[in-house]
Chain A
């Protein structure tokens, strides 16, 4: 059973629908024990970091995620879920979970070669993988993924960066740390390549490398 963490943060049903389409059993839950006893955990989210952390803490779900991580459960962070695992976010100066060292910064809109780069970064963009990873097995390297965000993670350790994307700056769009993988884009809204990542996740044993 896959636990999709419920903390009032939107896009939960779209993740559930994608898992349903793949024929993978999942449940949307805010129950601490259900989460730490699940086979694997998806930590999705759309919204603001400050409110998300407050909601998580209120239900002790911050502790559930950290415990699931230390118990080597496969965990998938999506969008805001990818920011919340960092130490702190510039969004309302929020202290986050700190599973991965580093912070979350905001894009500043910019003019590049006369072209206005708008914030949020919204739409399809590519991801340059720095190495192979079980979640990206069978995913075409030319694939693009759907992003909607104004903030992005800035991990301290470059080995935690699995994939990078160019928008205004080059940022870490996919993070990997052992049994945790986290992506700034929405696999549940990224067509077939996104579904492939979710299918891979539902089979993933939590190993950080491809044998």
Chain B
């Protein structure tokens, strides 16, 4: 059977991690390449890089980072943040990323999903969705609305509708981030993950809210999600990936235990 994936997420700005990451018994490191290599050795199933570099000329630095990461880690990794055009995608994929993720750019220009899928294959295209819980209305029947630009701007788009549309446009995977849960360490938005995951036929990565292995168990059990994105849980040394996976394994979730 297919294993559930545990995916650390690294935020990168100007080629450096935005926060130093402290592994257990290790010093702070702000180098995304070294950090990715460390996670690779510790049993991460995939790695997500989120580039928050603002200026476009700095994009070359990210490409260089991707190239260096690809020389060191031999598991899939994806790059998101600031990808707007086919050319952006091509550069990141050629530099060695397995997947690219599009978020706000896809809301503004949904065609980028189908163009990307056509050019590079569906498996390359991850649709990142930032979602906020709202009152249920005719326009937002699911009660979850898509927000963009880092959660600041409401779009009037229903999250469930957008997920289905993203799939039909050719997205190969959805990374589903709950803005409400993000950073709380109170657990993932289970209802949101269940809603989206049971209504699309592509994998869903749950994002936002992980604080304990129990939270990851909750979102992966009963098939609410296919993978879990984690950040602070492992970044600051509270848990290792191995500890998280052992906990999931002991509770009957199939995860990759040998690496």
Interface residues of A (CB under 8 A from B): 10, 13-14, 17-18, 20-21, 46-47, 109, 115-125, 140, 142-144, 146-148, 166-167, 188-195
Interface residues of B (CB under 8 A from A): 1-5, 40, 45, 70-72, 74-76, 94, 96, 98, 120-123, 172-173, 197-198, 201-203, 223, 226-227, 256-259
Give bound CA distance, A173 to B70, whole Å.
25
Tell me whether B256 and A144 are in contact (CB under 8 A): yes
Tell me whether B74 and A195 are in contact (CB under 8 A): yes
Give bound CA distance, A181 to B173, whole Å.
30
Tell me whether B74 and A144 are in contact (CB under 8 A): no
Number of A-B residue pairs having CB atoms within 8 Å of each other in the complex: 88
Tell me whether A46 and B123 are in contact (CB under 8 A): yes
Tell me whether A18 and B74 are in contact (CB under 8 A): yes
Give bound CA distance, A46 to B123, whole Å.
9
What is the minimal beta-carbon distance from B199 to any residue of chain A, in angstroms? 10
Residues of A within 8 A of B4 (CB): 123
What is the minimal beta-carbon distance from A28 to any residue of chain B, in angstroms? 12
What is the minimal beta-carbon distance from B205 to any residue of chain A, in angstroms? 11
Choose among B74, B96, B123, B198 the residue that contacts A191 (Cβ–Cβ < 8 A): B74
Residues of A within 8 A of B202 (CB): 118
Apart from A18-B74, A21-B72, A188-B74, 18 more pairs, CB < 8 Å: A21-B71, A46-B123, A115-B223, A116-B198, A118-B202, A120-B172, A121-B2, A122-B173, A123-B203, A124-B2, A124-B5, A140-B258, A147-B2, A148-B123, A166-B1, A189-B76, A191-B75, A193-B258
Residues of B within 8 A of A13 (CB): 70, 94, 96
- Which of A14, A142, A147 has the most chain B CB atoms closer than 10 A to its own CB? A14
In the complex, residue of chain A having the shortest beta-carbon distance to the beta carbon of B3: A124
What is the minimal beta-carbon distance from B176 to any residue of chain A, in angstroms? 14
